[in-house]
Structure 1
């Protein structure tokens, strides 16, 4: 009898367990189906804000409307593809690059960029509908759209070059770093922890002595004839610069084969790294042959040549980073100096957009002089320093075409002309193109002689020159504006301007937040005339610090870059 009752109970328990299992299975199936057929808006926003998104180059129109911010080049099939980014409205040069198909620039992680996006990874596993992604594993572009059966997404071929990407209308980000915040970060860097060297050295003691002398030196009212308002502390800068000239010793590594190493390119958008390499390696004042005497060690590679050479070999960004890792291992294996400080007394000078990314790990402790000085992308104020973007058309005459007019001769309030790459410039044109007679805001201008002449005339006749970021935060328009004595208006959140550690940018430029583009004219008109005149004078006085010379002269761009590196190394030195 008891056995019969137990058998009945066992069967009931078995049926209950089976029903529970089926119920759970149905719930799981419903969730899976829901995930496949629906993408809630909150998850879409989560994906768009994800750190995993980076922007790829947009398809451009290859017709008669030439995009002046790009160099065009041919691939092995003879088809035009986009190569070097030229952020100059009138400049251009023949490209030496031969990049592989689908090999994309790293771009800022902004959801509102009106271009294609590169998809790396996401917890959702699927991109938003209507946006094109690069599948890293398969090397093909994926367009997120409904398939013929109404669900999922289709994998497509790369877009034709003449197709235009749709504008993704998402408000501009307000997560920016203001000048005030940057000043705070600079002060914090002076008190931050540092990497203590494994053993002491005479050059370190010499640097510590120089640092104390700079900090405790006597105050001079107007040292060396410098214009005080454009500096944070002109007396301190003067002392630091003088000590650099007298004491700084740099060792240049001889390792590395051309063209990536020891072969500078001194024309074009990325010429800053080439000019510095040329002048540094040929310098007899600072360079020493005995590395034991050196305070700093220069890694003489060209990020532009690295990109060109390895792209021709079909290598991607990660492999470029690995290439630099092998170079660092070579240096560390042959010399003891890298291992003493972990590379903290080493420096590099690199202008290509990718330089910040491919040096971030192998050279993370080095002082990096970078054009792409984006705080949101790992640029460290107080350790890294900003390399000015100087588009060089003529080695013999860097100022060719720039003729500064007096303030009374400048009838235009603000001027901008350039290609529409990046998310910001289309917004600028949307608000200000053909809206006000004194706001000359255009798209790309012609590359012919007349187009170049017109561009220069606008630069030379404007009070304010708009320096709006492109794909990356930097732009050569800042230096172009300084050359033409036009007050730069920097619209590029998270961009650290050149020589930020010593120059007072508020004395010769205006910074406008990206989200304040609709108020641009109101901001400029509200600047009093006397303030504008002071800014214009500041631009004239700061110009000498942005000039290249075939034979370097005091306070010129070569010396300012070297001083920025020297200054940041001094800030790292602590008594043992």
Structure 2
């Protein structure tokens, strides 16, 4: 009995309780810390927060988050491949001029490799969009394939870099209707396909589709068409006087079956004209006007229907001037989706639904138009789609191209994969 009473009165019980609580709190602290570390290192969800996509694009557009450590050697080709074409000022300013802008950006960028032995990529600067010899003044692409073929023959003869990888680490620009198929008519472009000698290389092209397409049968990066960076110097869309509800100026065929039985714009532009040309809320014009940017800056919605190809310079012009792009091109793949939140700054309308276009625009205008306009006027969004000169500006179109190329460098760079630089070679142009 004494021993039992002695045990009950022993101070060991409070001590045991204290130790138990100490272990409990220590365990709780460890669990909390584990959860915190797990959440802080897990990839964030981009489906719940409306700001998450913008936050992601801002992070990607920061040099500290993704430094541009790649090196690109720019071939110094004879002037008949590029510089000679610049005698025509249009060469550096029309909608296909991304080929000129990217070349210029690389020449003035820190990623340019002075020594070709240090290069991850090799850029082939050939301007194939500057032959304005057609009757209507549009670029002729008839010389594109032979000119590019001549350039490849030249560099493969005078350098060892093309032959060692069969062009795998070489980059071309194809800023045309159907990209590296080099033809404005889709059926002809598909029939001719991408030149065989370019199929191993990386193509920077404005043409992009979600579905498989013969003109995408090579690794490619979808880039924006060229417009002057001066075009974004306008008042914000919410403060500007926008007295045009819906705007389009461009080719609108009343009889779309106008070239060898082909239907222009898959009849979409004709249907828009037939449905809305008599509607005062729709400012539709079929004739060219050099000052049409002022009309875009006055408009709330800018229609961006497909032409022969799905993409259009109006996509970039609308964004630059604060007009909400209304994209009417089924299956189009848009440039730089990581940097440009297209679903938040534009509207997509199926080609078959153009008859209900006015109703859709009215609904947007009555609900979330102001939110779309605010996102549209984010300086980072406009910058991402514009080429600036000279050189590369953080977050601009050239920078986004380089960032995309950097993501492929460990797979594409012969130098990084082999780790064995070739001895220097004497270079003599034929």
Same fold (TM over 0.5): yes
Q: Alpha-carbon deviation of 1:427?
A: 2.1
Matched residues in 2 for 1:570 and 1:535: separation? 38
Residue 219 of structure 2 aligns with which residue?
383
Residue number among 442, 466, 472 corresponding to 2:303 in the alignment: 466
Matching of residues 555-574 of structure 1 within 5 Å: 555-569=395-409
Residue 252 of structure 2 aligns with which residue?
420
| 417 and 326 in structure 1: CA distance in 2 versus 1, 3 angstrom threshold | closer
Report the secondary structure of 1:321's partner residue: helix
Matching of residues 398-437 of structure 1 within 5 Å: 398-399=230-231, 402-406=234-238, 409-420=241-252, 422-423=264-265, 424-435=268-279, 437=280
Contact 1:382 1:501 in 2 (8 A): no
Residue 299 of structure 1 aligns with which residue?
124
Q: Alpha-carbon deviation of 1:376?
A: 6.0
Residue 24 of structure 2 aligns with which residue?
none
| 253 and 503 in structure 1: CA distance in 2 versus 1, 3 angstrom threshold | same
Q: Alpha-carbon deviation of 1:249?
A: 0.7
Report the secondary structure of 1:521's partner residue: helix
| 229 and 438 in structure 1: CA distance in 2 versus 1, 3 angstrom threshold | farther
Q: Deviations over 1:296-353 (max 9, x none)?
A: 1111111214x55999xxxx96764244234323323433333343323211123233
Matched residues in 2 for 1:432 and 1:497: separation? 27
Q: Alpha-carbon deviation of 1:488?
A: 0.7
Q: Alpha-carbon deviation of 1:481?
A: 0.6
Contact 1:250 1:295 in 2 (8 A): yes
Q: Alpha-carbon deviation of 1:540?
A: 1.0
The structure with more helix, counted as a fraction of residues: 2
Q: Alpha-carbon deviation of 1:369?
A: 1.0
Matched residues in 2 for 1:555 and 1:301: separation? 25
Give structure 2 stretches of 5+ with no counterpart.
1-39, 45-49, 183-193, 254-263, 419-430
Q: Alpha-carbon deviation of 1:482?
A: 0.9
| 268 and 235 in structure 1: CA distance in 2 versus 1, 3 angstrom threshold | closer
- Determine whether 1:253 maps to 2:75: yes
Residue number among 494, 518, 524 corresponding to 2:361 in the alignment: 524
Matched residues in 1 for 2:355 and 2:277: separation? 12
Contact 1:249 1:286 in 2 (8 A): yes
| 495 and 571 in structure 1: CA distance in 2 versus 1, 3 angstrom threshold | farther
Residue 362 of structure 1 aligns with which residue?
197
Matched residues in 2 for 1:407 and 1:269: separation? 29
Matched residues in 2 for 1:550 and 1:241: separation? 23
Contact 2:59 2:65 in 1 (8 A): no
Q: Deviations over 1:201-229 (max 9, x none)?
A: xxxxxxxxxxxxxxxx96899xxxxx965
| 417 and 286 in structure 1: CA distance in 2 versus 1, 3 angstrom threshold | same
Q: Alpha-carbon deviation of 1:526?
A: 2.8
Matched residues in 1 for 2:155 and 2:213: separation? 27
Matched residues in 1 for 2:224 and 2:236: separation? 20
Contact 1:407 1:533 in 2 (8 A): no
| 569 and 527 in structure 1: CA distance in 2 versus 1, 3 angstrom threshold | farther
Report the secondary structure of 2:98's partner residue: helix
Matching of residues 439-478 of structure 1 within 5 Å: 439-447=282-290, 452=291, 455-478=292-315
Give structure 1 stretches of 5+ with no counterpart.
1-216, 222-226
Residue number among 348, 352, 355 corresponding to 2:172 in the alignment: 348
Contact 1:383 1:568 in 2 (8 A): no
| 232 and 304 in structure 1: CA distance in 2 versus 1, 3 angstrom threshold | farther
Contact 1:398 1:548 in 2 (8 A): no
Matching of residues 278-317 of structure 1 within 5 Å: 278-283=104-109, 285-305=110-130, 307=131
Matched residues in 2 for 1:266 and 1:243: separation? 30
Q: Deviations over 1:353-408 (max 9, x none)?
A: 3642145422112211112335564344993112211233xxxx622774433168
Residue number among 313, 318, 321 corresponding to 1:484 in the alignment: 321
Residue number among 88, 96, 100 corresponding to 1:274 in the alignment: 100
Report the secondary structure of 2:389's partner residue: coil
Matched residues in 2 for 1:232 and 1:469: separation? 31
| CA RMSD after TM alignment | 3.7
Contact 2:173 2:203 in 1 (8 A): yes
Q: Alpha-carbon deviation of 1:258?
A: 1.7
| 342 and 479 in structure 1: CA distance in 2 versus 1, 3 angstrom threshold | same
Contact 1:491 1:514 in 2 (8 A): yes
Contact 1:416 1:465 in 2 (8 A): yes
